[in-house]
């Protein structure tokens, strides 16, 4: 049987591109460029909470890093380095091989070096836990934040929302997807963080967040930090075609507004930036849509065909 060090060597040591000293010593060494700040974030994935115990390991590996890359995108930071702490109930090498393949596929796509971590045994058979810390660079003072939205700003989102929530609902047996199934499962298991958009928004957006817990919950964070409110138009929210069957259905509304796992960016910008954002959307070949606007009153309202949408539960809160 492989030792812990053999496992690290085989599955978690890959050549790096912008690292002084990577896996293998007591700490990694990196050099931050002059004039840059480090953006640092951690996201943990727990079996049974963030993925099913029997989920395909490739997707778990991809997503463990992708959700962290998405946090860099939201800050307008260039992701560069990551560490990976993993608690494994048992060593199943084919599982580790696939996990590692997914993790490094994401690392290669977004040019992130894995520079260290920790590998330990979980003491319960469902205890698989994966914690990734990511570090990125942003020119000093230019990071995008949740605060900064001004009353009267447009509210934008990238891509389409709701596909991951549909995929999850399918796996939970709540709905049956047919044509959309592959697309929605891909959205759920191998999300695409919007790094290029995040970098471009540094000069454009007044605030930004990535949508991980659902549009309403995450936009709510922007509104709270920026001390303003918003009105959204449900029919303007870019969404998977499945929702267009019946947007008046409250279950579908809930999935679209509070579903989560989208990893799209939601940001605010002055109306004067519209043309710039539209040309950015063309340049990136990525839809970016205005879904509403901010206002001075501290409330969040969603309209659908000129009626208010009932906001049953604003997103997913792990401790609610």
Applying CB under 6 A, the residues found at the interface with ligand ADP are 8, 12, 23-26, 84, 86, 114, 116-119
Site for Mg ion in 130-169 (CB under 5 A): none
Long-range contacts made by residues 249-257, C-beta under 8 angstroms, separation at least 24? 250/310, 250/312, 253/304, 253/309, 254/312, 254/313, 255/162, 255/165, 255/166, 255/169, 256/161, 256/162, 256/165, 256/215, 257/214, 257/215, 257/216, 257/302, 257/309, 257/311
Q: In the bound complex, what is the minimum distance in angstroms from residue 229's beta carbon to ligand ADP? A: 43
Q: Cα–Cα distance between 144 and 156 in angstroms, integer? A: 14
Q: Name which of 76 and 116 has its Cβ closer to ligand ADP.
A: 116
Indicate the helix (H) or strand (E) that contains 37. strand 36-46
Q: In the bound complex, what is the minimum distance in angstroms from residue 137's beta carbon to ligand ADP? A: 21
Q: In the bound complex, what is the minimum distance in angstroms from residue 14's beta carbon to ligand ADP? A: 9
Q: Name which of 119 and 142 has its Cβ closer to ligand ADP.
A: 119
* Options 118, 235, 297, 317; binder of Mg ion; rule CB under 5 A: 118
Residue 248, C-beta contacts closer than 8 angstroms, at least 6 positions apart = 304, 305
Q: Cα–Cα distance between 120 and 128 in angstroms, integer? A: 10
Q: In the bound complex, what is the minimum distance in angstroms from residue 96's beta carbon to ligand ADP? A: 10
Q: Which residues pair with 84 in a beta bridge?
A: 117, 132
Q: In the bound complex, what is the minimum distance in angstroms from residue 61's beta carbon to Mg ion? A: 20
Which window, 51-59, 113-121, 196-204, 233-241, contacts Mg ion (CB under 5 A)? 113-121
| The entry of Mg ion, ligand ADP, none that residue 275 binds, CB within 5 to 8 Å by partner kind | none
Tokens of 156: 């934008």
Q: Name which of 65 and 74 has its Cβ closer to ligand ADP.
A: 65
Residue span 66-105 as binding mask against Mg ion, x where in contact by CB under 5 A, dash where not? ----------------------------------------
Query: Does residue 4 bind Mg ion (CB under 5 A)?
Result: no
Give the Cα-Cα-Cα angle 184, 188, 194 (nearest 5 degrees).
100
Q: In the bound complex, what is the minimum distance in angstroms from residue 114's beta carbon to ligand ADP? A: 5
């Amino acid at each position: 049987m492989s030792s812990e060090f053999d496992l690290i060597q085989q599955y978690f040591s890959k050549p790096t591109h912008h690292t002084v000293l990577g896996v293998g010593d007591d700490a990694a060494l990196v050099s931050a460029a002059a004039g840059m700040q480090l953006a640092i974030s951690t996201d943990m994935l727990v079996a049974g909470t963030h993925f099913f115990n029997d989920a395909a390991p490739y997707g778990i590996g991809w997503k463990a890093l992708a959700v962290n890359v998405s946090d860099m995108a939201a800050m307008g930071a260039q992701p560069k380095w990551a560490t990976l702490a993993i608690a494994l109930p048992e060593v199943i090498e084919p599982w580790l091989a696939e996990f590692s393949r997914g993790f490094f596929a994401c690392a290669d796509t977004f040019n992130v070096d894995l520079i260290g971590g920790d590998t330990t045994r979980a003491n319960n058979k469902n205890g698989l836990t994966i914690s990734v810390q990511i570090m990125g660079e942003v020119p000093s003072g230019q990071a995008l934040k949740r605060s900064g939205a001004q009353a009267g700003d447009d509210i934008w989102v990238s891509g389409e929302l709701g596909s991951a929530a549909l995929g999850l609902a399918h796996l939970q047996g709540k709905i049956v997807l047919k044509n959309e199934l592959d697309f929605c499962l891909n959205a759920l298991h191998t999300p695409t963080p919007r790094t290029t958009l995040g970098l471009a928004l540094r000069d454009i957006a007044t605030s930004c967040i990535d949508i991980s817990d659902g549009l309403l919950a995450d936009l709510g964070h922007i509104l709270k930090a920026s001390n303003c409110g918003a009105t959204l138009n449900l029919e303007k929210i870019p969404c998977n075609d499945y929702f267009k069957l019946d947007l008046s259905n409250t279950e579908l509304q809930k999935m679209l507004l509070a579903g989560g796992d989208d990893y799209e960016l939601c940001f605010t910008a002055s109306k004067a930036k519209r043309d710039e954002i539209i040309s950015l959307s063309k340049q990136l070949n990525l839809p970016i849509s205005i879904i509403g606007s901010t206002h001075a009153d501290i409330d969040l309202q969603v309209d659908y065909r000129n009626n208010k949408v009932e906001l049953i539960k604003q997103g997913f809160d792990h401790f609610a």
